[in-house]
Structure 1
Amino acid sequence: MAVTHALPPAPPLQRPRVLMVASGFASAAALMLFGGLLGIYLTRRAELLQAGDTWLPEGVTIPLQQPNVMLFTLLASAITMQWAVYAVARDDRVNTYIALGLTFVFGIAYVNMQSYLYTLMKFDVIANQQAVLVYTITGAHLAMLVAAMIFTAVMAFRALGGRETSRQHDGVSAAALFWHAMVVAYAILWYAIYITK
């Protein structure tokens, strides 16, 4: 008489990583946007300098302390965002919430410092094209940061509700991908706008 054995259960289906792919495309599009804006900025700056003029108008200064603090704040936020990915992949709920909360606080600190920097620069938007370019690029980056903060907040609520687990944590990973792209975009514009002036 033949002995039959029950087959083991099928492995659980892995969801497609749609959110990661979409976040990758959004990150690439945002980086291309900043590449185009910075290309226009650097071209206009080179043309003005070749004509013998100065890039910044008379009486306008861009301090370096605030952009440097903003850069280090975003670098610290990239570390805490990666900490959140690490923690959620190991079902460490407490560290996930702490890391996502700290990342959000770093984002708010960046917004605060950027608004303070705008009050210090005192560019006249109507009088010169330099102000339009600087405010367009930095404003676009501020919008990208706010979008990254909203994305992170949504994924934090999903984690709080138990939807982000060690087996399926694409949401936090996708938010981290977009967050890191935003940090890279700022590092590039920090050098192009604030350092080279």
Structure 2
Amino acid sequence: MARRDEPQQSRAELRERVLTALRELLRERTFDTLSVADIITAAGVSRASFYFYFAGKQAVLAELVRRAVGAGHEAAQPWVQAAADPRETLRAGIDAGAELWLANAAVLRAIVETWASDPQLRELWLAQMETFTDATITRIEADRRANPAVAARLDGVDVQALAASLTWTGERLYYLAACGVPPFDDRAVLVDTLTHLWVSALYD
């Protein structure tokens, strides 16, 4: 019945139905076990409609991932833009990141678990993670220019490698939390640990 209603629905609505269908399917199944047919059935759209918007299931996941990453950048803005005390904004950003990962756990688990074996998703996830690394580098360089103590602390340090290490550590711990793995399933422990790592590396 849903497919007969397609002409009355806007293109945006149909597209959102596909995205919502994959998000919901990932709550119960892994990405590698899902087919385009599964997504079409769950979304209640025609095959033609699906392929009008998406080249394949990887493209659907990619859109969901980009949305989550965009929200992650918004959460990090107070620290990236040096809006207040760096320790406070770091902690707030890390806590918001934890909330974001939990809210998007199924989608983010899917990308973390599949990017290494899928060339399309590998390119996507490496590029998305690089945006976080680049934002971290921008803030570190700003701190080095504005704060002699930070400049001295990071003298001789490969800032790109440091920034990448911090962002990828965050990815791994958020992923473990999203999977319910102790002790990171405790949000307070997760936030405390990541805050300590970032602050110790950059400011203390």
Q: Normalising by structure 1, what TM-score? A: 0.31
Bigger RCO (CA 8 Å, 6+ sep):
1
